Amino acid sequence: MSVQLKENKEENYYSKEVENHNFNRKVNLNELLARMAKQQKQEKKNNIILSAAAISVVTVFGIILTL
């Protein structure tokens, strides 16, 4: 009997919390486009950094081999 009461209390707690949540169903395309542009800039920056690091490693390795 006490187990049923605990389940009901938890069920009521969660159902009230879900009812209090307001879900925004609209999609803002401007926000999505801005987020996509920001993500693309970040990816481009990461690619440039990775390329520079790889070129630096190859250059240092080449210098070491020539000595």
Of the candidates 57, 8, 29, the residue with the CA atom closest to the CA atom of residue 65: 57
Place of tokens 């070129």: 55
**Full domain range(s) for residue 11:** 2-66
Distance of alpha carbon 45 from alpha carbon 64, whole angstroms? 29
| Residue ranges in the chain assigned as alpha helix (H) | 2-20, 29-66
Amino acid 4: pLDDT? 57
Q: Which tokens is 18 given?
A: 């879900």
Distance of alpha carbon 45 from alpha carbon 51, whole angstroms? 10
Residues 31-62: pLDDT tens digits?
999 999 999 999 999 999 999 999 999 999 99
Amino acid 64: pLDDT? 95
The domain tally of the chain equals 1
